[in-house]
C-alpha cells in the first residue's frame, strides 16, 4: 500500500498515514519505523507500508508517484 504521512509526532512516535487508493487513515504501529531508513517522518511525505494484524501501518519504506498503482487494476 502507498500513502502520505498525514500527521507524525516525533516525541511519541504516534502518526497517521492516509492511503492513496481508498483515502482511509491508518495509525502507525509502535514499531513502524524499526528496520527502515526513517528516523522520523514529515507531513506530506510519501511512503509505502503494510498493515499489521491490528490494522496499523508498519514496515514503512520510501514511496514515489511512479510506484502508485491504478485502483482496480
Kindly report, residue by residue over 15-70, the tens digit of the pLDDT: 999 999 999 999 999 988 888 888 889 999 999 999 999 999 999 988 765 544 54
Three-state SS annotation for 27-57: EECCCCCCCCCCCCCCCCCEEEEEECCCCCE
Q: Are 64 and 46 in contact (CB under 8 A)?
A: yes
User: pTM for the complete prediction?
Assistant: 0.80
> And the C-alpha cell for 17?
498515514
Q: Domain coordinates of the chain in residue numbers?
A: 2-64
Domain 2-64, second-level architecture: Beta Barrel (2.40)
Amino acid at each position: 500500500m502507498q500513502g502520505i504521512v498525514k500527521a507524525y509526532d516525533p516525541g511519541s512516535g504516534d502518526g497517521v498515514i492516509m492511503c492513496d487508493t481508498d483515502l482511509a487513515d491508518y495509525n502507525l504501529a509502535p514499531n513502524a519505523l524499526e528496520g527502515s531508513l526513517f528516523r522520523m517522518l514529515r507531513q506530506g511525505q510519501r511512503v509505502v507500508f503494510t498493515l499489521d494484524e491490528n490494522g496499523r501501518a508498519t514496515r514503512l519504506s520510501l514511496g514515489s508517484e511512479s510506484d502508485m498503482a491504478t485502483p482496480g487494476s
